[in-house]
């Protein structure tokens, strides 16, 4: 059963309804996952945990990303921004962000040493944003995204 804990500002989203919808989607997929959520700083943060967590996070967390996308689309009309829903699974995004920051640092060192552009693998918009932000403060490199859809990636250039 989905649980809601109200912490902080109200996101403007019907939290209980969003959590119930998320749980129904999980149930329809017959996944063994528990849905919990809390509102923090105007964002409904939903955590998914359970025996089927590996399925949720396989293939670069594609199922987790898809569920978040669907919930944002469903509840888009209830708020000016669809960014009011954030799905995670036991801190997956915290660990992924650390990995991406390390990748960005290593890639920027390589670009600076070789003085040649370096292309990274395709990433989700959230992952690309993390890379762009990580490299924004590094002198001597600049980033650009290119490609379409699932093939959109970042290239790091010496500046």
User: What are 67-94's pLDDT values in tens digits?
Assistant: 999 998 888 765 444 458 999 999 999 9
Q: Which CATH number is correct for 3-90, 3.40.50.150, 3.20.20.100, 3.90.220.20, 3.30.300.20?
A: 3.30.300.20
Q: Which CATH number is correct for 94-158, 3.30.1370.50, 3.40.980.10, 3.30.360.10, 3.40.50.280?
A: 3.30.1370.50
Query: Which residues in the chain belong to E strands, given as ranges?
Result: 3-6, 34-40, 43-49, 85-88, 118-119, 141-146, 153-158
Residue given tokens 């762009």 in the structure block: 132
Strand, helix or coil at 155?
A: strand
As a whole number of angstroms, the distance between CA 30 and CA 117 comes to 45
**Per-residue pLDDT at 15:** 86
Residues whose CB is less than 8 angstroms from the CB of residue 12 and which lie 6 or more positions away in sequence, other chains included: 42, 78, 79, 84
Q: Do domains 3-90 and 94-158 have the same CATH topology?
A: no
Which is nearest to 72 in space by CA: 64, 84, 60, 61?
Answer: 84
**Could you tell me the strand order of the sheet in which 34-40 lies?**
3-6, 34-40, 43-49, 85-88
Helix (H) or strand (E) holding 91: none
As a whole number of angstroms, the distance between CA 108 and CA 43 comes to 32
**Per-residue pLDDT at 35:** 97
For the chain, the structural domain boundaries read: 3-90, 94-158
As a whole number of angstroms, the distance between CA 45 and CA 40 comes to 7
Mean pLDDT per 10-residue segment, the chain (159 residues): 44 79 96 94 92 94 94 73 80 96 97 97 93 95 93 95
């Amino acid at each position: 059963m989905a649980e809601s804990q109200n912490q902080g500002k109200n996101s403007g989203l019907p939290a209980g309804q969003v959590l119930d919808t998320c749980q129904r989607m999980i149930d329809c997929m017959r996944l063994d996952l528990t849905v919990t959520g809390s509102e923090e700083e105007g964002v409904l943060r939903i955590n998914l945990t359970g025996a089927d967590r590996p399925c949720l996070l396989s293939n670069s967390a594609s199922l987790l990303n898809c569920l978040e996308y669907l919930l944002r689309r469903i509840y888009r009309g209830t708020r000016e921004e669809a960014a009011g829903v954030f799905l995670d699974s036991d801190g997956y995004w915290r660990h992924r962000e650390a990995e991406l920051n390390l990748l960005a640092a290593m890639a920027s060192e390589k670009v600076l040493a070789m003085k040649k552009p370096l292309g990274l693998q395709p990433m989700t918009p959230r992952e690309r944003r993390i890379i762009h932000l990580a490299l924004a403060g590094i002198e001597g490199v600049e980033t650009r995204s290119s490609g379409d859809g699932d093939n959109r990636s970042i290239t790091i250039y010496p500046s």
